Homo-oligomer: A and B are copies of this chain.
Amino acid sequence: MKIDFKHIAIIGVGLIGGSFALALKQQGFKGKITGMGRNKKNLSKAKKLGIIDNYTTEFTEGIKDADLIMLAVPVGQFETIMKNIRRNLKKGAIVTDVGSVKAQIVKKLGPLMPKDVYFVGAHPIAGKECSGVTCASADLYQNARCIITPGPDTNNTALKKIINLWKTVGAKTMLMEPEEHDVIFAAVSHLPHVVAYALVNGIIKVDEAILHHGGKGLRDMTRIAKSPAELWRDICSHNKKNILKSLKMFSSSISNITKLIERSDWKGLEKEFIKAREARQPLESN
């Protein structure tokens, strides 16, 4: 597939940004990939691994010739970075992101774009047990879904280029309104993360020294609690309303089950378990 960009600047070269760069190279991308971030050691490692072609910690310098700028740091840093680099962006450049929240991002970043620079928001649904650039892999996005969230003002040509780009690295793209995205992912992604953290903290409240007794089930259930805390703090702050709503629904399920156990209503409890077991089916075909 043809790649519409010649110089791609990735701000945040970790698992997500690094895998994106590797996937592009695997697809025969011949242009330049500049890595940017705060941590020189990390960037130097990424270069040694052949993930990026060059790097800088001076964002205004790194983006000035880029025709695609990808924000792949925690979402809480997006606005500051954009305010810092906006005056140096090249005419015709496209800015995109990989954040797990979209409505606030689209609303905040869109108006920061100078004339002839376009923002298109995206959220690739991909992850791994480990984080950081050493975990990056060229096949992370193969058959992964990538939600693209155009707003009413999104430039159509830029949108098509971003769709194309994600298809090139193997993802199945899907368009969604930013607000709709945030409602859905508050429930199916942000809530589960919060629950995983809370589950670990609940268990150590029972007894600090028993977690090692857990089996594969607990390990799998809390695997996402290994995600960087800063990332999920930012996601919570940027999707507060929807996450609180999801937490409310979840808490009501927990209190429902608690009541059934308190009342020894085993028939009712079994029904509740069966309901979950059946509702879960769609996840199997993902």
Residues of B within 8 A of A196 (CB): 221, 276
Is A194's CB within 8 Å of the partner chain B?
yes
Of A34-42, A57-65, A107-115, A238-246, the one contacting chain B is A238-246
Is A3's CB within 8 Å of the partner chain B?
no
**Complex Cα gap A244–B258 (Å):** 7
Residues of B within 8 A of A187 (CB): 202-203, 206-207, 210
| Mask: chain A, 6-20; 1 = CB below 8 Å from B; 0 = not | 000000000000000
Contact A215 B126 (CB under 8 A): yes
| Mask: chain A, 240-264; 1 = CB below 8 Å from B; 0 = not | 1001111101111111111001101
- Smallest distance from the beta carbon of A280 to chain B beta carbons, Å? 5
Contact B233 A221 (CB under 8 A): no
Contact A184 B200 (CB under 8 A): no
Is A102's CB within 8 Å of the partner chain B?
no
Contact A221 B221 (CB under 8 A): yes
Contact A233 B188 (CB under 8 A): no
Residues of B within 8 A of A1 (CB): none
A: residues with CB less than 8 A from B are: 125-127, 145, 183-189, 191-208, 210-227, 229-230, 232-234, 236-237, 240, 243-247, 249-258, 261-262, 264, 266, 269-270, 272-277, 279-280, 282-286
Chain A interface secondary structure, helix, strand, loop or mixed? helix
- Smallest distance from the beta carbon of A191 to chain B beta carbons, Å? 7
**Complex Cα gap A277–B285 (Å):** 29
- Smallest distance from the beta carbon of A5 to chain B beta carbons, Å? 27
Chosen A-B contacts, 14 in total, with CB atoms closer than 8 Å, are A186-B206, A187-B210, A188-B218, A189-B218, A198-B250, A202-B251, A205-B252, A206-B246, A206-B249, A214-B283, A214-B286, A232-B273, A233-B266, A237-B264
**Closest residue of B by beta carbon distance from A250:** B202
Contact B127 A216 (CB under 8 A): yes
- Smallest distance from the beta carbon of A129 to chain B beta carbons, Å? 10
Contact B217 A285 (CB under 8 A): no
- Smallest distance from the beta carbon of A245 to chain B beta carbons, Å? 7
**Complex Cα gap A225–B234 (Å):** 29
Contact A125 B215 (CB under 8 A): yes
Residues of B within 8 A of A285 (CB): 212
User: Given contacts A210-B187, A229-B270, are A254 and B261 in contact (CB under 8 A)?
Assistant: no
